[in-house]
Amino acid sequence: MKINFIKNSILFIIEKKDNPISIKLEINKENYNNYNKIVDLSNIIPDQFIIILKTFTNQNDKSFVIVTEKIDYDIDNMNLVPTIQEAIDFIDLEEMERDLNLL
């Protein structure tokens, strides 16, 4: 897994060698709580990770977005987008909504 900071978010880039449990532990680290989280599943077949990622939601007034083109986009309660740029745009929109008290 690679971890990068983009704007006000943390980008977790998941790789083939990563396992779902280690990803869950890494994403849950307390020092990430004040950041929006983007999980990029573009490099893998995401099926095994979706079950674990479904447990994450927007917390602490921060967004949680998954980047993948390989999943049906009708999965309930998950913010799925096809590109990292769209994840950043999604987070920007949610932050504007929070600022206006719409979320």
Residues ≥6 apart with Cβ < 8 Å to 71: 41, 46, 50, 80
Considering its fold, how many domains does the chain have in total?
1
Per-residue pLDDT of the chain (103 residues; tens, 9 = 90+): 999 999 889 999 999 999 888 988 999 898 998 999 999 999 888 777 877 787 776 677 899 999 988 776 566 678 889 999 999 999 999 999 988 987 5
CATH number for the domain that contains residue 79: 3.30.750.24
**Segment holding 64, helix H or strand E:** strand 64-67
* pTM (2 d.p.): 0.88
Domain that holds residue 32: 2-99
